[in-house]
């Protein structure tokens, strides 16, 4: 449930503190909320309870209770689409998810327009045939079929192509791309930018000397070392490289600042994950102690029942002794009357 709450806070922008530095909070009011659940956690708990009531097998405490789809396209592809086409693309994508899971199982859908590339977050409850079954939706065959279907029904009409299938990569002996954290991704991009900048600086230094080149005639012929046209061309190229260098330097500085910000937030995230693991361990220990307490209560109940039975037995024995005493007195009295 903790991860679900975190998704809701991020998707619905319920806080101004975000781990993603690409979020422009000044544009957050442009985000589109297609629908959301008033009390998301309570709604999910009720759905889980309904499913549990209809089956004997106990639902695991760590069972996934939500699936989140993040639908987008490459920055280049999104740039080719007009604003109206983008809206239509995300609306069709939402219809696709609803058709797969049913409108009853939708939890929230929010379109983010305050980040670099527009994208849609959709949260759904993973119910299938009356059971909580998130795993069935993400088995490789089912996932591949879903991606194929999405490419045909939605992506194709907007000029989008199906990505490389995982099965095709495996057949070629290639390893699939692993998900990277924001910090790792930004660091990688920053390194690439710095390397490109370093190469450009070297090229710019080599071309900077062009400004000092003057076309001079050779003393022994009519040829010049550099023609005027060549000089002007090379000089223009050097100035263009200098301008490009300035742009890359600004981008490099921005990426470096973002990387530092992300690293700080990643540290907080790691601490939060550590606390989450500790909390889970405590919850498991608490569950174990509750089970032990329940066992002891059962034993105590049995003992109380036995004590009550012993009390009733002692009372019966007392009554029997009293009855025997009365019977003895009666027999003695009868004998006295006989004599």
Q: What is the pLDDT along the chain (339 residues), one digit of tens a residue?
A: 778 888 888 888 888 777 777 788 888 899 999 988 778 889 899 999 999 998 888 998 888 999 999 999 988 999 999 999 999 999 999 999 999 999 999 999 999 998 888 999 999 999 998 899 888 888 888 888 999 999 999 999 999 988 877 777 777 776 666 555 555 656 666 677 667 667 766 666 655 555 555 555 554 545 555 566 666 666 676 667 666 777 777 776 776 776 666 666 666 666 666 677 777 777 777 878 888 888 888 888 888 888 888 888 888 888 888 888 877 777 666 666 655
Q: Is residue 246 located within the same domain as residue 208?
A: yes
Q: Is residue 167 located within the same domain as residue 34?
A: yes
Q: Residue 109 maps to which CATH number?
A: 3.30.930.30
Q: Is residue 92 located within the same domain as residue 193?
A: no
Task: Give the pTM.
Answer: 0.54
Instruction: Give 151's DSSP letter.
Output: I
Q: Is residue 165 located within the same domain as residue 21?
A: yes
How many whole angstroms separate alpha carbon 97 and alpha carbon 70? 11
Residue 337 placed within a domain: no
Residue 264 placed within a domain: no
Residue of 31, 159, 145 lying closest to 89 (CA atoms): 159
Q: Is residue 84 located within the same domain as residue 108?
A: yes
* Structural domain that includes position 80: 2-178
Q: Is residue 226 located within the same domain as residue 168?
A: no
Residue 33 pairs with which residues in a beta bridge? 110
Q: Is residue 51 located within the same domain as residue 37?
A: yes
Residue 68 placed within a domain: yes
Residue 61 placed within a domain: yes
Residue 205 placed within a domain: yes
Last residue of a domain, one of 178, 196, 211: 178
Q: Is residue 18 located within the same domain as residue 110?
A: yes
Residue 121 pairs with which residues in a beta bridge? 70, 110
Residue 168 placed within a domain: yes
Last residue of a domain, one of 195, 227, 258: 258
Q: How many domains does the chain have?
A: 2
Q: Is residue 134 located within the same domain as residue 27?
A: yes
Cβ-contact 111, 35 below 8 angstroms: no
How many whole angstroms separate alpha carbon 263 and alpha carbon 153? 40
Burial class, 97, CB count within 10 angstroms (exposed 0-12 / middle 13-18 / buried 19+) = buried
Q: Which run of H or E residues covers position 119?
A: strand 119-124
How many whole angstroms separate alpha carbon 27 and alpha carbon 117? 13
Residue of 66, 28, 37, 17 lying closest to 272 (CA atoms): 17
Q: Is residue 247 located within the same domain as residue 191?
A: yes
Residue 193 placed within a domain: yes
Residue 270 placed within a domain: no
Q: Is residue 232 located within the same domain as residue 244?
A: yes
How many whole angstroms separate alpha carbon 179 and alpha carbon 24? 23
Query: What CA–CA distances, in Å, run from 276 to 116, 153, 272, 280, 283?
Result: 30, 40, 6, 6, 10
Q: Is residue 33 located within the same domain as residue 130?
A: yes
Last residue of a domain, one of 139, 161, 178: 178
């Amino acid at each position: 449930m903790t991860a679900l709450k975190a998704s809701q806070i991020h998707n619905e922008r319920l806080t101004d503190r975000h781990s993603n530095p690409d979020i422009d909070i000044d544009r957050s009011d442009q985000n589109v909320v297609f629908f959301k659940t008033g009390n998301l956690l309570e709604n999910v708990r009720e759905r889980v309870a309904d499913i549990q009531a209809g089956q004997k097998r106990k639902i695991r405490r760590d069972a996934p209770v939500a699936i989140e789809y993040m639908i987008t396209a490459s920055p280049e592809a999104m740039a080719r689409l007009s604003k109206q086409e983008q809206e239509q693309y995300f609306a069709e994508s939402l219809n696709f998810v609803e058709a797969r899971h049913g409108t009853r199982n939708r939890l929230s859908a929010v379109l983010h327009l305050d980040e670099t590339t527009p994208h849609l977050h959709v949260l759904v409850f993973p119910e299938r045939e009356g059971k909580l079954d998130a795993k069935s939706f993400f088995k490789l065959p089912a996932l591949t079929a879903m991606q194929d279907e999405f490419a045909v029904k939605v992506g194709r009409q907007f000029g989008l192509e199906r990505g490389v299938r995982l099965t095709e990569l495996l057949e070629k002996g290639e390893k699939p791309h692993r998900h990277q954290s924001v910090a790792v991704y930004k660091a990688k991009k920053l390194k690439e930018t710095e390397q490109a900048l370093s190469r450009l600086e070297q090229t710019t230094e080599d071309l900077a000397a062009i400004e000092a080149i003057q076309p001079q005639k050779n003393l022994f012929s009519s040829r010049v070392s550099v023609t005027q046209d060549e000089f002007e061309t090379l000089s223009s190229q050097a100035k263009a490289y200098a301008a490009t260098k300035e742009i890359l330097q600004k981008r490099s500085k921005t990426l470096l600042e973002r990387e530092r910000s992300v690293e700080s937030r990643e540290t907080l995230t790691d601490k939060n994950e550590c606390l989450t693991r500790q909390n889970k361990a405590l919850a498991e220990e608490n569950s174990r102690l509750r089970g032990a307490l329940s066992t002891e209560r059962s034993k105590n109940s049995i003992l109380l029942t036995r004590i009550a039975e012993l009390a009733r037995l002692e009372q019966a024995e007392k009554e029997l002794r009293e009855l025997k005493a009365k019977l003895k007195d009666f027999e003695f009295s009868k004998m006295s009357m006989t004599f």
